Amino acid sequence: MRAGYVGDHVFSKIMEKPGEHPTFTLHEGYLYTKNRSGEEVLYIPNSSSDSKSIAGVIIDQPHTMLGHFSTHKTAD
């Protein structure tokens, strides 16, 4: 996932001027941001691995393992 940050349009702008983006922080090579509730969450880069987006893989993995409970429970 860290490799995905390299080509990510948003991440590259944040790294150029980190002082202008106070809602983002970098921990051990991973970029975090604040969600609407003010919680720190992992920023998922806009890139792909094996023709699937990283976000798609993250969403698909638990869905495949656990099944589909509902859109609200999946989002939670």
- Identify the pLDDT of residue 7: 78
Burial class (CB in 10 A: 0-12, 13-18, 19+), 19: exposed
Task: With 0.85 as the threshold, say if the pTM is over it.
Answer: no
- Identify the pLDDT of residue 50: 66
DSSP bridge pairs for 42: 32
**Chain segment 22-37, per-residue pLDDT in tens:** 888 888 888 898 888 8
Segment 2-21 mean pLDDT:
81
**Chain segment 14-70, per-residue pLDDT in tens:** 878 888 988 888 888 888 988 888 899 988 887 666 677 777 777 777 666 666 666
